[in-house]
Amino acid sequence: MSDEQPLDPLARPHAPRPSPLAPTFMHAALDQARQAMAVGEVPVGAVIEHEGRIIAAAHNSRESLHDPTAHAEMIAITQAAGELGDWRLEDCTLYVTLEPCAMCAGAIVLARIPRVVYGAADPKAGAVASLYQLLADRRLNHQAEVTGGVLSRECGEILTEFFRRQREAGKK
């Protein structure tokens, strides 16, 4: 009988130090979030980096596409797979302004994205750190390194401003 303890399937891996380029890529994701806000979408932006260059950039488009799955991450993953000609995004990093939800975390697992960097935490729907830790769950066939809090103030402020304007306009 082994003295080794079984792995905790919910244990979080050690958070890696963000790349020195993380703020540069997060600024590109913020640009996408600003574009979303300009067209009345919840301002979340995402970019996917591969070998030092952005291969996909997207923002939330749920309202304009009438599609509940049109989150920035989902659209960016589809774009990146098309750009690389492969559904496996194994050498990529996803940068997103808001912590991914359960749907997007599932897509990250399925796309085999090894690194995720997010800006603002999402205490109501975050599925990589706040509510769930899906990207660290060893019961799944893929895990990703997660770094949160990159440009968190800026990422949070754009969301706060958007929802303040929505309330003032009497919208949901």
pTM metric for this prediction:
0.90
Give pLDDT, residue 17: 60
- For 156, phi and psi rounded to 5 degrees? -75, -35
**CA distances for 141 relative to 44, 59, 82, 87, angstroms:** 27, 28, 23, 15
- Known catalytic residues are 73
12 neighbors 133 (Cβ within 8 angstroms): yes
The pLDDT of residue 18 is above 80: no
Kindly report, residue by residue over 74-127, the tens digit of the pLDDT.
999 999 999 999 999 999 999 999 999 999 999 999 999 999 999 999 999 999
78 neighbors 94 (Cβ within 8 angstroms): no
* CA dist., res. 116 & res. 108, Å (int): 9
**Structure letter (DSSP) for residue 136:** G
